[in-house]
Amino acid sequence: MIIHHPILGPRDAQEFVYLGDASLIGRPDGLTASIEEFHNYTYLRDNPAGAHRELWYHEQGDRSWLVVTRNTVTHEILQVELARDVARAEGRSK
C-alpha cells in the first residue's frame, strides 16, 4: 500500500505504524466521562467492511500522525489528512 502523505508525497506503508480507528482522537474528558464511556472509547470499534478512517504514524519518516481513509475490502486508500488538522477541526487542542 502506498500512502500519499500530505507533506512528503507517496510513501510505502511499511514506513508507518498502524494504531487503529481514527475515533481514538475523540478521547472522552478524563474528569467528567463515566467508566462506560471510557470502556466504549477504549474497547469498542465499528470495524466496518468498506471505508475506514484510521490513524497511521510515520515512524520512519517525519513522525507525523495521519488520518488515512482506506477501504478495508479492497485496501484502496481514498484520502490522507494530517491528524493534527482532523483533531483541530473536531475542536481538540486550539
Partner 1 sequence: MRYSGFRILKEALTGHKGWGHAWRDPEPQTSYDYIIIGGGGHGLATAYYLAKEFKQARIAVLEKGYLGGGNVGRNTTIIRSNYLLDGNEPFYEFSMKLWEGLEQDFNYNAMVSQRGIINLIHTDAARDAATRRGNAMIMNGADAELLNRDQVRVMYPFLNFDNARFPIKGALMQRRGGTVRHDAVAWGYARGADSHGVDLIQNCEVTGMRIENGKILGVETSRGFIGAKKVGVAVAGSSSKVMAHAGMRLPMESHVLQAFVSEGLKPLIDGVMTFGAGHFYVSQSDKGGLVFGGDIDGYNSYAQRGNLPVVEDVIEGGMALMPMIGRARLLRTWGGIMDMSMDGSPIIDKTHVDGLYFNGGWCYGGFKATPASGWCFAHLLAKDEPHVTAKAYRFDRFLKGLMIDEKGQGAQPNLH
Q: Which is nearer to partner 1, 6 or 20 (CB)?
A: 20
Q: Which is nearer to partner 1, 42 or 79 (CB)?
A: 42
Q: Which is nearer to partner 1, 29 or 46 (CB)?
A: 46
Binding site for partner 1 (CB under 8 A): 1, 12-14, 18-21, 35-36, 39-40, 42-49, 52, 54, 70, 72-75
Are 17 and 64 spatial neighbours (Cβ–Cβ below 8 Å)? no
Tell me how far, at minimum, the Cβ of 21 lies from partner 1, in Å.
Answer: 8
Helix (H, G, I), strand (E, B) or coil at 11: strand
Tell me how far, at minimum, the Cβ of 94 lies from partner 1, in Å.
Answer: 28
Tell me how far, at minimum, the Cβ of 84 lies from partner 1, in Å.
Answer: 21
Are 19 and 57 spatial neighbours (Cβ–Cβ below 8 Å)? yes
User: Strand order in 65-71's β-sheet?
Assistant: 17-21, 51-57, 65-71, 77-82
Tell me how far, at minimum, the Cβ of 18 lies from partner 1, in Å.
Answer: 5
CA 88/CA 43 separation, integer angstroms: 24
CA 46/CA 49 separation, integer angstroms: 9
